[in-house]
Structure 1
């Protein structure tokens, strides 16, 4: 709604939305700064104080919205003053809160180096730890995100640049919200992200008429190319061709889907000699695990406990489903320019097990493979 529209009477739900966003969001932003400063012996009171403060804010915002609506309905107040005050509070706490996260990124507090995450296996990490590891990998990326948050927050503090601030922050905060939701970052953090995105969206809807009018008035000054039919056909093909390409590529890749996965080498013989259980510790060709991936990649790893790139071998593979499990391994070990194509004889294939026989260079290799459930 625009400032002119606030002179007209509005529905209670709009008053409650603005009251909730302004009051509850403001309380949440203050708690974010104050609660971490509590002494260690008072840590047990952090959650009760935080929750009681938020509940009080919710109750107060409900009461305020009803009071505001009643007074406006009976023409007892200047409703625009309520609107201006609450909108200002909303802009200020958003700027305050989001800039805090921005400065945390600049000073390497947010996504700081984590020693235990660095030493942990990827498949043991939680969604939050994965996010921390990914974004913490590049300090420069973190700084760029932080600068967007700080600059956007500064723009929110001025009425003339509020919309520009919203347009700067909204894509960043939506991305953060989606990460928080789908990576299980935590209920309180997700709640904060939600009210931030809703608050920014509310501020953008204030100017919805100007935004809509801008897109209606915008028109490219460049001359058109070709006739209308040609342009429509090209537009259609610009979407259709990528779709068909990816669809075909996906279909072609997934013909070998039944082989995708982590395969444990139950037993292995080389030139008729059984490879001993612990031989992998000295012989990097005594493989213990095969990783068959999409896009024609497979990795032969001697370590049975974890994948180590330095001692593993990357090979390509080709699979033709129409020729009785025609599986070929392509090795680049001897020459990158002239790789060896090695036919693989697959027998006794089931969903969870199979036997391989191939000749790698001059060695005849047989393996019993069992698929590992992940």
Structure 2
């Protein structure tokens, strides 16, 4: 068996198969048969949406964004149909195909995983079939500006990057982790609690902020910041400028499993953790 000829046939088949299939996905976006949410989805709470519904609604929110993806797919398809432009075509193809593959598995898009995996593997086969040319261009070819093109001072200063790069990594790691602990830290209240009597939902959120929503209403009617000690909890509303009326709720609390019992001067309210 002539392996080189078999490689040629398989390589050509993969090129045409990839180019043909991706056109169908491109036109599906243009004619809005893809990324289209059903009317019932709009009435569901976001927390109840499946990965498929969430993804389709998100990508379908902007038609022109889907159109950009479709044009990119068509361009990659046209490039793959011709041998001389296959290299740039397959690189362009993989830039969105790998993202699609990851999205299908991350958001559990049923019925799409198999095809996405097949197209990605075929694209990798086409790419790696030409690995010598790619290796030569991306690795072995000299950089645009060589040492002889740059001032001597710049060549000497280039060694600073071995200090600069670790500083950037460590610096941003410390900065972001510090900001996360300060503003995104999760305490024992963090989450959504529902009043067992009124069905109002109390949301304890990042940066010690809170929101309260009435039953069947999406807009909050109270929001602000909260403070707490070992046994007391205070909700401070931001919708008023008066210091006296700024305290929306204040009292002693008890956390027992998924129950939050808040006792004020006038009443005792019980909340159940929803999430």
TM-score class, shorter-chain normalisation, is: 0.7 to 0.9
2:163 matched to 1:233?
yes
Judged with a 3 Å threshold, the aligned counterparts in structure 2 of structure 1 residues 326 and 215 are, in CA distance, closer, same or farther, namely farther
Q: Displacement, 1:244?
A: 0.9
**Which residue does 2:43 correspond to in 1?**
119
Choose which of 286, 301, 316 in structure 1 pairs with 2:213.
Answer: 301
CA separation of 1:262 and 1:92: change in aligned 2, threshold 3 A: same
Q: How do 1:251-330 and structure 2 match up within 5 A?
A: 251-253=181-183, 255-266=185-196, 277=198, 288-303=200-215, 306-309=216-219, 311-317=220-226, 324=230, 329-330=235-236
User: Are 1:332 and 2:256 matched, yes or no?
Assistant: no
Indicate conservation of the 8 Å contact 1:225/1:231, yes or no.
Answer: no
Partner of 1:198: 121
Q: 133, 140, 151: which is aligned to 1:210?
A: 133
Q: Deviations over 1:63-122 (max 9, x none)?
A: xxxxxxxx34xxxxxx43332222111111111101110111011111124212122232
Name the SS for the 2:126 alignment partner.
Answer: helix
Please name the residue that 1:160 is paired with.
Answer: 84
Provide, for residues 4-60 of structure 1, a one-character-per-residue CA deviation record: whole Å limited to 9, x for no partner: xxxxxxxxxxxxxxxxxxxxxxxxxxxxxxxxxxxxxxxxxxxxxxxxxxxxxxxxx
Say if 1:165 and 1:113 are closer, same or farther in 2 by CA, change over 3 A: same
How far is 1:195 from its partner?
A: 0.8
Shift of 1:201: 0.9
Counterparts of 1:97 and 1:342, CA distance in 2:
59
Q: Is the 8 A contact 2:263 2:269 kept in 1?
A: no
Q: 2:254 aligns with which of 337, 348, 363?
A: 348
Verify the 8 A CA contact 1:291 1:298 in the aligned structure 2: yes
**1:128 corresponds to which residue?**
52
Partner deviation per Cα, 1:321-352 (whole Å, 9 max, x = no partner): xx6467554432135xxx95778444223332
Which residue does 1:54 correspond to in 2? Answer: none
Give the TM-score, by structure 1 length: 0.63
SS at match of 1:257: coil
Q: What is the DSSP-based 3-state SS (H/G/I as helix, E as strand, rest coil) of the residue aligned with 1:111?
A: coil
Larger Rg: 1
CA distance in 2, matches of 1:346, 1:173: 55
Alignment: residue pair count: 265
Match of 1:139 among 63, 79, 85: 63
